[in-house]
Amino acid sequence: MKAVFKLTLTCSVFFLFFGFESNASCQSLQFCENVSSNGAPIAESSVFNISDKGGYFKFLVTLPFTVGTQYVNFEIYKIDSEGNETYDSTINHDVDPSWTWFWKEVTFYEPGRYNVYVFDGVKNLLTSAQVRIQFH
């Protein structure tokens, strides 16, 4: 009985340790004004103000693994007041298969809420996030 308890305790500690570790290194999509040379977001936000002529900011993708393909797609969907998505556009971006982070500057011309999905070159979903654009 003691052996079962010790095994259960050991497994629980192992699971907790690695569970917290994996949360610290999960993939993410962040929106920011710029990206540092080591891949850190500068002026990260989920809300951006643009002029009626448009405005741009960066999509920063961070992965706990190499991207493994030569391009990614950013699929952008506009969200209406009821939460329904409408396809807006797809942006292709060339990447190096060995990269664990990359960014793309994207211009928006219309205010609203948008869901952005990032897919690798073989259509695996890497990450997603939501951003709100408003006129200033």
CA 64 to chain centre: 12
Nearest to 134 by CA among 99, 110, 118: 110
Q: Is the pTM of this model over 0.85?
A: no
Residue type, 131: V
CATH, domain range 26-135: 2.60.40.1930
pLDDT in tens, 19-51: 444 444 699 999 999 999 999 999 999 999 999
pLDDT in tens, 57-73: 999 999 999 999 999 99
State how beta strands 125-135 and 47-50 pair. parallel
Domain boundaries, the chain: 26-135
Helices (H), the chain: 2-24
